[in-house]
Amino acid sequence: MNSDILEMLIGAEDYVSGEELSRKLGVSRTAVWKKINALRKEGYVIESATKKGYKLKIMPDLLNKKTISSNLDTNFIGKEIDVMRSVDSTNEEIKRRASAGAESGLIVAADEQTSGKGRLGRVWESDSGGIYFTILIRPELSPNEISAITLAAGYAVCLAIREYTELDAKIKWPNDIIIGSKKICGILTEMAAQTDRVDYVAIGIGINVNHESFPGKISGKASSLYLELGKKLDRNDFFRCVIKKLDKVLSDFLVSFSSEDLNEFRRLCATIGRNVSVKRNGILLEGKATDLTPGGELVITDNSGKEYIINSGEVTVQGIY
Ligand code: BTN
């Protein structure tokens, strides 16, 4: 009910009486008062005045469904959004909801994750200040077409960061977003599939937005939009921009990724033109990243001029990480 009260207070231009809140939410006045106090503890400044009721004065820097959803008007991504204060992992939460029948396009976002997951079994630090979210998609694709969706999602986030902040965000293939040589965003895609049919895909995206610092071992490698820009972002507003871009790019992608998009992806891919190394079946392949295929795979050319096509894996890029 906290979020219902909040939505009513955000939507109201003036005071909302305790009587109206209790009537519309179907709870007692005492329950309303308790929930108002709970919101105050979360950092919401809510003024109360006799005979007038409650008025929201200051919102804390928390993700808020009502603000994110206003004027969103997307095709399918974010038609339903759920915002949680804290969750183990938004990927795990989406998987639970997918098993319970949730629809394609659902986003679950959280201010904090207690067991955020990175690629290759790593931990994803998920302190407050970031945007951590997972999108549920039920595409009519075969399992081997799914890695391209992740590329498209990374490309969309890169475009959103560039548009919203004017920072020179680039893609480290396949789908890290970097600024300079530091990581700003990571994506973990998981799926449930039969051999020839995908049941659902969970695209988990973590963006370092307002972090002021990072713990020791990752501080040399990670940065945030705040650290790069020198000012904090309105996370709800920025998140809306990211969702809109994801909706546009993924809607186009599920029909067919245009050659303009592919060319733009190439232009924004910081990996191309650099010396790289990647392990394939335990063997280290070293060379230069020379191109992307129309399907988004990385072309690596070794010293002898032989070309290798890589469709997944952890690529180390000279000068980045
Ligand atoms: C990476 O290792 O680069 C991928 C990081 C993915 C992190 C995001 S945060 C939201 C979603 N929930 C998770 O537990 N992980 C992903």
What pLDDT, in 10s, does the model give residues 154-193? Answer: 999 999 999 999 999 999 999 999 999 999 999 999 999 9
42 Cα: distance to centroid of ligand 1 (angstroms): 25
pLDDT at 132 over 90: yes
What pLDDT, in 10s, does the model give residues 21-56? Answer: 999 999 999 999 999 999 998 889 999 999 999 999
73 dihedral zone (left: phi>0; alpha: psi -120 to 50; beta):
left
Mean predicted lDDT score pLDDT of the chain: 93
For 285-314, what is the mean pLDDT? 93
For 95-107, what is the mean pLDDT? 97
Which of 124, 126, 187, 239 to probe ligand 1 with, by most ligand atoms within 8 A of CB? 124
Nearest to 152 by CA among 267, 289, 247: 247
Residue type, 84: M
Q: Is the CB of 90 under 6 A from ligand 1?
A: yes
Distance in angstroms (rounded) separating the CA atoms of residues 148 and 55: 47
Nearest to 53 by CA among 4, 13, 17: 17
41 Cα: distance to centroid of ligand 1 (angstroms): 28
Q: Is the CB of 118 under 6 A from ligand 1?
A: yes
